Amino acid sequence: MMVVLALAAAAASVATTLGSCASLSPYYDAAVPHRARDGFRNNYDNADKQSFWRWQLERWQSGAPFPPKAPTPSAIPDADFLRINLTEPSITWIGHATVLLQVASYNILTDPHFSDRASPLSFAGPRRMAPPGLPLDQLPRIDVVLISHNHYDHLDEASVRRLAAQDGGPPMFIVPLGLKAWFKSAGIGNVVELDWWDRVRMGSLDLYLVPAQHWSQRTLFDRNKSLWGGFYVKHRALSFVYTGDTSYSKDFSDIRTRLGAPDIAAIPVGGYEPRWFMEKQHVDPAGAVQIHKDLGARYSLGVHWGTFQLTDESLDEPPVALAEARVRAGVPAERFFVLRLGETRRIAPLLRADSADADAAAAQSARAESARR
């Protein structure tokens, strides 16, 4: 993120000089508001971001970011279970925004990042502060990779190249509009490019690209030239939302209205300070809890923390801030949780408990109605 933001700051000044030379976006569609002449736009807020250089000056003056009090908690991964599991829905936090979702016989990976740096350079840029909770070579065979946008902490070239070369053939890479060409240039095929609300079907899975409020940029000259978003995965056994990077917006109420409330969501809880600079691109934990409520998710997993020091909050702050935000919003701790690196949460027991609670509540209601009669 730091590298991308520095590029964005430089690009902004270049764009001022070269703006009159800007070419028409190949995705421009006058009937589709987010497909503008000069690139892609958010649905609800396209305000310019504040000064990157002011943020860097404030960091230098304050000494931020401050080191964490403790390392990011980790677990011994249940790699054997993940390798053979074909029936039990599960979710595993690998680190940052990388999550392994298992539903039916499918293995789905979000924004895979296994490299040492979130940067175009191998020797500079944000360094990984905690190893992946599940090493890439211990993954089960991946069927689907969901790429939310092109920032370096979400689209890591080394990681997607290795996944494309996995035994048994490459996974299906599902990407937002404008990113297929990048994969082609990297020699990676089996890529499906989607616009917001588009769907691709894979066996018994329906996979949708859904809106988020963010931006894209990978070089000095491609700001918002590719789309960004989140994903909605639908299966009869489980529905799942991964929001991707986002600030708070009405998009999440729209997702619930159009596709229904998911069983579980993966929502960012880190990368939010200082708020004056980050609020237009990253939610804080309070905003994440509101997204959880807007989606109507039964459960949510907090991601995008504890791995790369990208912003000013300490690496270990987001879970504490999330707990405080849950209390303020009246959301029980078990409904919006974090995992240790490499930890797997089996989802079926959670959903069975919900069904049992619903049955008990319905029975109690029926008894009360019968007593009134």
The answer to whether the CB of 76 falls within 8 A of the CB of 133 is no
Question: CA nearest 114: which of 78, 91, 142, 86?
Answer: 142
| CATH no. of 79-357 | 3.60.15.10
Question: CA nearest 304: which of 334, 283, 335?
Answer: 283
Element of type H or E holding 13: helix 2-18
Residues of the chain by 3-state class (helix, strand, coil), percent to 5 = 30, 20, 50
> For residue 22, what are its two tokens?
């800007």
β-strand partners of 345: 91
Task: State phi, psi for 232 to the nearest 5 degrees.
Answer: -120, 120
The answer to whether the CB of 139 falls within 8 A of the CB of 98 is no
Q: Domain residue spans in the chain? A: 79-357
**How far apart, in whole angstroms, are the C-alpha atoms of residue 175 and residue 104?**
22
The answer to whether the CB of 178 falls within 8 A of the CB of 27 is yes
* Burial readout 118-150 (b: 16 or more C-beta within 10 A, e: otherwise): bbeeeeebbebbbbbbbebeebbebbbbbbbbb
Q: For residue 89, what pLDDT is reported? A: 97
Q: What is the pLDDT along the chain (373 residues), one digit of tens a residue?
A: 655 555 454 444 434 333 434 589 999 999 999 999 999 999 998 776 678 899 999 999 999 898 999 999 999 999 999 999 999 999 999 999 999 999 999 999 999 999 999 999 989 999 999 999 999 999 999 999 999 999 999 999 999 999 999 999 999 999 999 999 999 999 999 999 999 999 999 999 999 999 999 999 999 999 999 999 999 999 999 999 999 999 999 999 999 999 999 999 999 999 999 999 999 999 999 999 999 999 999 999 999 999 999 999 999 999 999 999 999 999 999 999 999 999 999 999 999 878 656 555 555 655 666 667 6
**How far apart, in whole angstroms, are the C-alpha atoms of residue 325 and residue 149?**
27
**How far apart, in whole angstroms, are the C-alpha atoms of residue 158 and residue 140?**
18
What number of CA atoms fall less than 13 Å from residue 305's CA on the CB side? 34
β-strand partners of 300: 265, 336
What is the value of pTM for the model shown?
0.92
Q: For residue 47, what pLDDT is reported? A: 75
- In the three-class reduction of DSSP (H, G, I as helix; E, B as strand; rest coil), residue 2 is classed as helix
